[in-house]
């Protein structure tokens, strides 16, 4: 069985290397929570789910405090996450084989990348994901871009998924499968109405928002908008986006079938 978050974790590790001495000042997080439509339980759940989706082992120490541990081969990082209804903090606690220098407060730069990913994913999970007028306009624009550009000369054309569902499943079973598959890969999933799920993923300073439509016969995944993924009007995008969508579709199929 594939462990939760493994697809996403592999994507995150593509650019990481432990060769050479590349230390940086430790990055600790102090973040205000801007979503006023939340409570302590939702914040706790968001932190736990965000960390788990990125491969962190998350444990509640007490109310308002979570300990996270990330292990990668022979490398390990431990953080403390303190939170209340107004803010949260991520602080370094311990590490192994990450070139930690207590005197200079430095560590291998990959650690800071993991913390930035964790911060961004927590923020994504804390947001209310709603199909706003702005997102509707973005969808209308990219739909026009898609229709006007069939075969771009350069760039990677955006992958749209239209997948038949085999077997018999109820609408509730299908929506649960899609949400669980997406959540396991770091996507924030939110049902907008029956047959329509809005999803968003954040990786470092990159993000993508998609719509997933479904019924008892099939489901589809379509691009809405993104940041720092090189989207062009000819309906092309950075190839990593298509990798994320392929992983998401595979995870949904595995749960549905």
Alpha-carbon span 88 to 244, nearest angstrom: 28
Alpha-carbon span 158 to 234, nearest angstrom: 9
Classify residue 105 as left (phi > 0), alpha (psi -120 to 50) or beta.
left
Ordered DSSP codes for 111-161:
HHHHHHHHHHHHHHHHS-----HHHHHHHHHHHHHHHH-SS-SSSEEPPPE
- For the chain, give every domain's residue range: 6-126, 133-256
What residues are paired with 65 via a beta bridge? 62, 82
pLDDT at residue 128, as a whole number:
86
Cα distances from 175 to residues 92, 167, 241, 252, in angstroms, run: 37, 15, 22, 10
In terms of CATH, what superfamily is 133-256? Answer: Kinase associated domain 1, KA1 (3.30.310.80)
Report the greatest alpha carbon distance in the chain: 61
Same CATH fold assignment for domains 6-126 and 133-256: yes
Cα distances from 235 to residues 98, 136, 142, 144, 247, in angstroms, run: 41, 17, 7, 9, 20
pLDDT at residue 20, as a whole number:
52
Cβ atoms of 236 and 142 within 8 Å: the answer is no
Q: What is the CATH number of domain 6-126?
A: 3.30.310.80
Alpha-carbon span 174 to 196, nearest angstrom: 11
- Report pTM: 0.77
pLDDT in tens, the chain (257 residues): 344 444 444 444 433 444 455 889 999 999 999 887 889 999 999 999 999 988 999 999 999 999 999 999 899 999 999 999 999 999 999 999 999 999 999 999 999 999 999 999 999 899 889 999 999 999 999 999 999 877 666 779 999 999 999 888 899 999 999 999 998 888 999 999 999 999 999 887 899 999 999 999 999 999 999 999 999 999 999 999 999 999 999 999 999 97
């Amino acid at each position: 069985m594939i462990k939760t978050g493994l697809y996403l974790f592999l994507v995150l590790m593509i650019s990481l290397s432990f060769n050479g001495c590349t230390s940086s000042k430790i990055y600790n997080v102090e973040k205000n929570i801007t979503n006023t439509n939340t409570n302590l339980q939702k914040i706790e759940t968001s932190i736990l789910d965000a960390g788990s989706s990125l491969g962190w082992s998350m444990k509640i120490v007490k109310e308002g405090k979570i300990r996270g541990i990330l292990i990668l081969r022979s490398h390990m990082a431990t953080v403390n996450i303190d939170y209340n209804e107004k803010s949260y903090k991520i602080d370094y606690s311990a590490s192994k084989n990450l070139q930690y220098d207590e005197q200079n407060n430095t560590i291998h730069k990959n650690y800071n990348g993991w913390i930035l990913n964790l911060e961004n994913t927590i923020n994504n999970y804390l947001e209310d994901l709603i199909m706003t007028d702005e997102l509707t306009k973005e969808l209308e624009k990219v739909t026009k871009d898609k229709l006007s550009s069939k075969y771009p000369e350069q760039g990677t054309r955006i992958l749209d998924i239209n997948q038949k569902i085999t077997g018999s499943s109820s609408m509730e079973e299908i929506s649960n499968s899609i949400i669980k598959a997406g959540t396991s890969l770091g996507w924030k999933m939110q049902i907008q109405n029956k047959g329509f799920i809005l999803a968003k993923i954040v990786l470092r300073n990159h993000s993508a928002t998609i719509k997933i439509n479904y019924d008892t016969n099939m489901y589809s995944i379509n691009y809405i908008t993104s940041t720092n993924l090189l989207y062009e009007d000819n309906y092309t995008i950075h190839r990593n986006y298509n990798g994320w969508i392929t992983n998401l579709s595979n995870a949904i199929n595995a749960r549905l079938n």
